[in-house]
Amino acid sequence: MASRAKATIFDIAREAGVSKSTVSLVLQGSGLIRPETAVKVRKAIEDVGYVYNRGAANLRKAHSNVIGMVINDLTNPFFAELAVGMERVFQSAGIVPFIANTAENPVRQEEVLKSLMEQGVAGLIVSPARGTMPSAFRRLEMAGVPVVFAMRRLPESRVPVIAPDNHRGAYLAAAHLIGKGHRRLAFFGGSSDLVVYQERLGGFREACETQGIAARDVLVIEGETSRRGGLACLEAALAMAEPPTAALCFNDAVAFGVMLALRKRRLEPGADFAVVGFDDVVEAEHYMPALTSVAVDTAGLGERAAHVMLKMIQSRTTRAEDHIGAVNLVVRESCGPDRRTRNRPAGTGGAA
Amino acid sequence: MASRAKATIFDIAREAGVSKSTVSLVLQGSGLIRPETAVKVRKAIEDVGYVYNRGAANLRKAHSNVIGMVINDLTNPFFAELAVGMERVFQSAGIVPFIANTAENPVRQEEVLKSLMEQGVAGLIVSPARGTMPSAFRRLEMAGVPVVFAMRRLPESRVPVIAPDNHRGAYLAAAHLIGKGHRRLAFFGGSSDLVVYQERLGGFREACETQGIAARDVLVIEGETSRRGGLACLEAALAMAEPPTAALCFNDAVAFGVMLALRKRRLEPGADFAVVGFDDVVEAEHYMPALTSVAVDTAGLGERAAHVMLKMIQSRTTRAEDHIGAVNLVVRESCGPDRRTRNRPAGTGGAA
DNA sequence: TTGATTTATTGGAACGTTCCATTTATAGGC
DNA sequence: GCCTATAAATGGAACGTTCCAATAAATCAA
């Protein structure tokens, strides 16, 4: 019952009447030991309540089986979905990934990375915090620990990236809006220190140019990538002289904020102002109205990142190909046609 | 640039022209070494790109500084909030907690716990997966690892629990509904194999009895604790002969599902059917209509759990007091009066 | 100067594994 | 029976730390 000092491989060796080496072999499932012996040993392990000391083992083995996942914002359901995808593949490889949150704080991130390294992780999947210095991952690189960036990338870094095709996603979304007759468009939320932001905004701009929207008719408002940020963006936009009639949001959280702000002003998202999100989190489908959003196959990206990581570890390299995931626009109910265009054809009722 | 074999304490000793012991002392911030020596050593550490091997250290030190958090459903924002609270206090103690997800799967949970133990965690904060066998934590207990249950408890277990006052919360919510004139009440979602469920349902029932609601007028429908579950519950309820006019939901996710189902049927949550959630996740406030919910101070509970854990580790005990957190009902817009009652006083308009 | 005290530094033995090189037991070939 | 081949089990050294006991250097009291 009560536990004296922790049991070691020696204790169980004595218990089973074999040598420590034999126990070690059993622990590793070696085929060298006689089945009956193995059984005997396993019983002793059970009886004594032995717990394997991976730290000690790693001292010799050089490679642990711990993989860390460093996330910039645990409260964003998006990252939970990403984690779930990763876990699926790690689980089947017998690995338990450890998740750590940096809360979008580079200093905290530094601590987290340090701790993970000290723990002797075999590899790291990271969504870097905003404002991460390029140097932040130097230590990892020096130590030869495989690192994969998921969703976000750093300006100049040779770390492989698994991310969706942000440019294309934004392009599709903007084109959709324009196709619906909107002529004054906005891009809401995010900030320019994020590479993702550049990419999404780039796609948005390209669509506008290609489809003949004048530069002065596109409004870009940076802001927090949260509901609150979206709310602020919409308020700012509607305060302008000639406000936009549609917006592509940096992500779904921003879009939800925008819809909320519209409701507060007794405007109907979709009918009165079109909004498109990005990421297509599960809530998007369940919103009222359901949010049109760029689906990035989050869980799939997570799986992909995990696979790449596994391969890197296996081939003990620190390099790998980037992977840009396909995206597609999921059209739901959050963007009707521009009202001005809409009034010309048959008058459709008001309530959605 | 390229990294040869990992640098050890010996390498940096040679580099700095001191002994390994001195380096070790510096690493631990001992006051015994001369400041200038310490500086010299620290420089060498930097130059060589040394990373501390905590596994090796733990071999001697017996106590690591790793704390694990085992969560049953990472995709529920509720748990992210809990984690954030914990992280706040661990961070100030210089500890990086590792989070692992069990996805509500007892088998996976077993693996996760095993892995964490092997890693030599100093303590574990756990929200056990549904269907966890009481024996699942025996090993931990045998090994003397401090464990705290957060939010959920196991039927018979001496592990300290940090949880909200579920009974009281449910009581308050039900009383609120009854006070609004509702006479046919439902309890939606959750399943009876969860202790939390028993507690919440108990509070609900007590309120009904106390306030004179006949037993045959209270409807209990178990279901998934997710949006989807809520949807199903509402459908089932409305299909009955004399459907309820209000529901307390097991948690906010269920409540969101219920509201969604109402909308699908062109019913207005609040006006046509009252719904109350439980947990008061951040989204509750931002829903349309804003969800009345039982606030449990999730982050506060997380902080509390972390503090208890720290204290247990410090006093090397495996026992601690339970902590039942205060709750309060946050009234928003998701529950108007019973329609029948409402028609009697002055006619208030329809739209909320 | 000498010894006692304090201050800095150091060597060596653990810690719990793995893995290589051996040893011991078992079987096979002749 | 003896030698060899195969199978099964073992002892010892190593892994990178910590910590104790011991040493070396500096300071002080006489």
pLDDT tens digits, B271-326: 999 999 999 998 899 888 899 999 999 999 999 999 999 999 999 899 999 999 99
Structure token digits, residue B278 = 């439980």
Out of A56, A108, A143, closest to residue B6 by CB: A143
Q: For residues B133 and B296, what is the distance between their CA atoms, to the nearest angstrom?
A: 27
CA of B315 to C1' of C1 (A): 53
In angstroms, the CA A221 to CA A230 distance is 10
pLDDT for the residue A4 = 54
Query: CA-CA-CA-CA torsion for A98, A103, A105, A109, nearest 10 degrees?
Result: 0
Residue A54 and residue A59: Cα distance in Å, rounded? 9
pLDDT at A75: 87
Inter-CA distances, A80 with B216, B282, B299, Å: 41, 16, 18
Distance from CA of A1 to the nearest CA of B (A): 7
- A100 DSSP β-pair partners: A70
Whether A348 has a pLDDT exceeding 90, the answer reads: no
| Nearest chain A residue (CA) to B92 | A108
Check residue A77 and give its pLDDT: 87
* Interface probe with B: pick from A12, A60, A99, most Cβ of B within 10 Å: A99
Residue B148 has pLDDT above 80, yes or no: yes
- Do A80 and B66 count as a contact with CB atoms less than 8 A apart? no
Is the pLDDT score of B351 beyond 70? Answer: no
The dihedral region occupied by A120, where left means phi > 0, alpha psi between -120 and 50, and beta the remainder, is: left
Ordered structural domains, chain A, with CATH: 9-52 (1.10.260.40), 67-164+298-325 (3.40.50.2300), 166-297+330-343 (3.40.50.2300)
The residue count for chain A: 352
How far: A118 CA to C12 C1' (Å)? Answer: 25
CA of B30 to C1' of D22 (A): 19
Which of B113, B119, B259 to mutate: most A Cβ within 10 Å?
A: B119
Could you give the CA distance from residue A75 to residue B117 in angstroms, rounded to a whole number?
27
Tell me the C-alpha distance between B249 and B219, whole Å: 12
Distance CA B257, CA A285 (A): 12
Render A185-200 in DSSP notation, one character per residue: EEEESB-TTSHHHHHH
**A156-210 tens-digit pLDDT:** 899 999 999 999 999 999 999 999 999 999 999 999 999 999 999 999 999 999 9
pLDDT number for residue A341: 52
The whole-chain average pLDDT of chain A stands at 92
Which nucleotides along chain D are within 7 A of a protein C-beta? Answer: 7-12, 14-21
* Residues B191, B194, B198, B203, Cα dihedral to 10°: -90
Nucleotide nearest to B6 (CA to C1'): D16
| pLDDT band for position B37 (cuts 50, 70, 90) | very high
Q: Do B142 and A55 count as a contact with CB atoms less than 8 A apart? A: no
Q: For B96, which of A3, A115, A257 is closest by C-beta distance?
A: A115
Q: What are phi and psi of A158, to 5 degrees?
A: -95, 10
Question: What is the distance in angstroms between the CA of the first residue and the CA of the last residue of chain B?
Answer: 65
Q: Count of CB atoms within 10 A of residue A46's CB?
A: 10
Q: How far is the CA of A112 from the C1' of C17 (A)?
A: 27
**pLDDT higher than threshold 70 for residue B166:** yes
Token couple for B337: 């009066």
Q: What is the DSSP letter of B50?
A: -
**Higher-pLDDT residue of A294, A31:** A294
pLDDT band at B103 (very low <50, low <70, confident <90, very high): very high
Q: What is the pLDDT of residues A5-38, one digit of tens each?
A: 689 999 999 999 999 999 999 999 999 999 999 9
Nearest to A55 among B58, B83, B283 (CB): B58
Tens digit of each residue's pLDDT (9 = 90 or more) over A296-308? 999 999 999 999 9
Q: B173 — phi, psi (to 5°)? A: -65, -45
